Amino acid sequence: MQQFSVLMSVYSKECADFLRVALDSVFNQTVVPTEVVLVEDGPLTTELDSVIDEYSKHYAQLKVIKLPVNGGLGRALRVGLRHCSYDLVARMDTDDICRSNRFERQLRVFEQQPELSVCGGWISEFSNDPEKPHSYRKLPELSTAISAFGQKRNPVNHMTVMFKKADVEACGGYQDYPLFEDYYLWVRMLVSGCKFYTIQDVLVNVRADLGMIARRGGLRYARTEIRLQFLFYGLRYIGFVTMLQNIAIRFTTRIMPRGVRSWLYKKKLRNNEAK
């Protein structure tokens, strides 16, 4: 099958044990990555350094890129992507868990649909035990439906994607847009005519504690999302009425009490049926 890179980024506040599990899930695949590019976004803890040193000794595919200061996910991924040697690049977060055949399934999709730019999948979300998820994020399958979904919400599960490096770079790559680096990228790609596909199955088990989700509120989130909606309108991805509707919904969601936001997330924004 085609050679490919995996792109990951880690920073000091992450958990060494979670990184170990994530790396195990990347290397213990039915199709093993040709290379894994791990960006250290600023100085790390002793525990994280120890895990990275251990895996560097065991896996020649692991390429570590050290950044002197923490610059945020967008910058780290932009730098890391430049160091990816292959045209196909899979994203992976350093606290999640890949299903064992994730990469094999995505490579087969690219073989069958060579016109694609991005192939993602569904996620299961768990708090403690990946075998006991509390919710799922399921997304549309085909590019037209993905684009329509994206006018309201992020249409791609970032930690599941495999994409063509050349197509991402042609659309400006990862930009420094905190909290929404990926959403902004997908919209620019969709506007440019890139084709997307979502495998209708779970590819990655994602750590998503409901308490953490409930904390994703406040004026910072609200202001960032409002600016993003204006960007989407400027790209002619959404119309004026849709922009106003999105702003009203997002602002209300971000400033509501945590408990209400947690309930809304679990009951209205996620699917609780297993796949």
Nearest to 10 by CA among 59, 77, 61, 62: 77
Rounded to an integer, what distance in angstroms lies between the CA atom of residue 181 and that of residue 198?
19
H/E/C letters for each residue in 19-48? HHHHHHHHHCCCCCCCEEEEEEECCCCHHH
Helix, strand, coil percentages, rounded to 5, for the chain: 45, 20, 35
Out of 64-78, 105-119, 176-190, 218-232, pick the least confident: 218-232
Q: What is the DSSP string of 111-129?
A: HH-TT-SEEEEEEEEESS-
Show the tokens assigned to 85: 């040697």
124-152 per-position pLDDT tens digit: 999 889 999 988 999 999 999 999 999 99
pTM: 0.91
CB neighbours of 230 closer than 8 A, spacing ≥ 6? Answer: 243
CB 271 within 8 A of CB 135: yes
Residue 44 has pLDDT above 70, yes or no: yes
Phi, psi values for residue 60, rounded to 5°: -65, -20
Residue type, 133: P
Show the tokens assigned to 196: 């997307």
pLDDT band at 267; cut points 50, 70, 90 = low
181-226 per-position pLDDT tens digit: 999 999 999 999 999 999 999 999 999 875 566 556 677 888 889 9
Rounded to an integer, what distance in angstroms lies between the CA atom of residue 110 and that of residue 106?
6
